[in-house]
Amino acid sequence: MLSRVADAVYWMSRNIERAENVARFVDVTLHLILDLPEGAEEQWLPLVMTTGDQVDFTKRYGPATRRNVIKFLIFDREYHNSILSCILCARENARSIRETIASEMWEHLNHFYYRVVEAGGDFAVREAPQEFLNEVKVACQLFYGITDTIMSHNEGWHFANLGRLLERADKTSRMLDVKYFSLLQRGRTAGTPDDDLHWSAVLRSVSGFEMYRKRHHGITPERVVNFLVLDRDFPRAAMFCIDEAWQSMQAISGGPSATSRNPAEQLLHQLREDMLSATVGDIVSQGLHPFIDRLQTRLNEVGAGIHQTFIAMRPEELAGTP
């Protein structure tokens, strides 16, 4: 597979996943505010913090109000992680590899992009975006379904799967980290019904509330951390994503082997091994934030390893270029 094709498939999938996660986070925040109306304005800054782009937001928008955050995260063309920008980027990547992906994938993504553009010009959507956010989630999930059921599960599909899973692991960990930090800051809510509402919101942000309740009767920070970080069965848990990403990495690299073949494989293999040996007790004892911070750093390293190994030109290739 050409490196430009691998890169385009990877980022097409990663941006679709990013758009879906932003839609999830905003939607859950809007519903949480209905349950906690007195602290409504306090919920918007943590949402910006999940993006890691708080400095850019503050510089351009100032206070984290409902209107400012919604515009920034959903419809801002200049912000590269807004839903609009993510879908535009995914669409442009898909356009460049239309000969590789299924026509249904392109048609769906093209229609999806124009729907997001249309919504951005609708005042009613900007003021009450809940229904639109649900459209975004459904459209992203439909894209995954089309990809999984129509696209051949060859190298291209595995690069798409890598992008989706690494992005999902990163965003699940970010949401958990920011919400945990904000609850520590709001120590007065610890162990109260408000506390339960916040933890429920974390679970709902990854559509994990029902699956969590099927396994646990009560909500505790330790159980939520275990479920969203270390669970190997829940599809949005970090461990599940890393496990599945490892399967795709092996398929791309040529199958199971006793030794890792390249930097990307080595980094992902070591991350998977460390996650498999971790326990929720270890995470809590060392502090959730340092653990999540390190996890995000290592996920970024895996992403950089993928670029270095499969995308970037190597010195020997450059030497052979006329």
Band the pLDDT of 320: cuts 50, 70, 90: very low
* Residue 322: predicted pLDDT: 39
The CA-CA-CA angle for residues 94, 97, 101, to 5°, reads 80
97-119 pLDDT per residue, tens: 999 999 999 999 999 999 999 99
Reading the block at residue 198, the tokens are 């916040």
167 & 308 share domain: yes
**Cα–Cα distance measured from residue 306 to residue 229, given in angstroms and rounded to the nearest whole number:** 23
User: Is pLDDT of 185 > 60?
Assistant: no
User: Is pLDDT of 303 > 50?
Assistant: yes
198 & 86 share domain: no
133 & 178 share domain: no
DSSP 236: T
115 & 220 share domain: no
**Cα–Cα distance measured from residue 86 to residue 195, given in angstroms and rounded to the nearest whole number:** 32
Task: Among 117, 151, 185, give the residue marking a domain's end.
Answer: 151
Q: Which domain holds residue 228?
A: 153-322
312 & 250 share domain: yes
- Residue type (1 letter), 162: L
* 311 vs 184, higher pLDDT: 311
Band the pLDDT of 316: cuts 50, 70, 90: very low
Task: Among 104, 123, 151, give the residue marking a domain's end.
Answer: 151
134 & 160 share domain: no
* 150 vs 318, higher pLDDT: 150
Burial degree of 308 (CB within 10 A; 0-12, 13-18, 19+) = middle
270 & 254 share domain: yes
81 & 204 share domain: no
What is the rounded average pLDDT for all residues in the chain?
Answer: 88
Kindly list the distances between the CA atom of residue 1 and the CA atoms of 7, 45, 141, 300, in Å, as whole numbers in the listed order. 10, 42, 26, 23
| Percentage of the residues of the chain whose pLDDT score is greater than 90 | 68
Band the pLDDT of 188: cuts 50, 70, 90: very low
26 & 95 share domain: yes
| DSSP-derived secondary structure for 174-220 | HHHHHHHHHHHHTGGGTTSHHHHHHHHHHHHHTT-HHHHHHH-SS--
219 & 290 share domain: yes
Number of domains present in the structure of the chain: 2
Task: Among 151, 167, 189, give the residue marking a domain's end.
Answer: 151
Band the pLDDT of 259: cuts 50, 70, 90: low
Average pLDDT over residues 115-139: 94
| Stated pTM of the model | 0.90
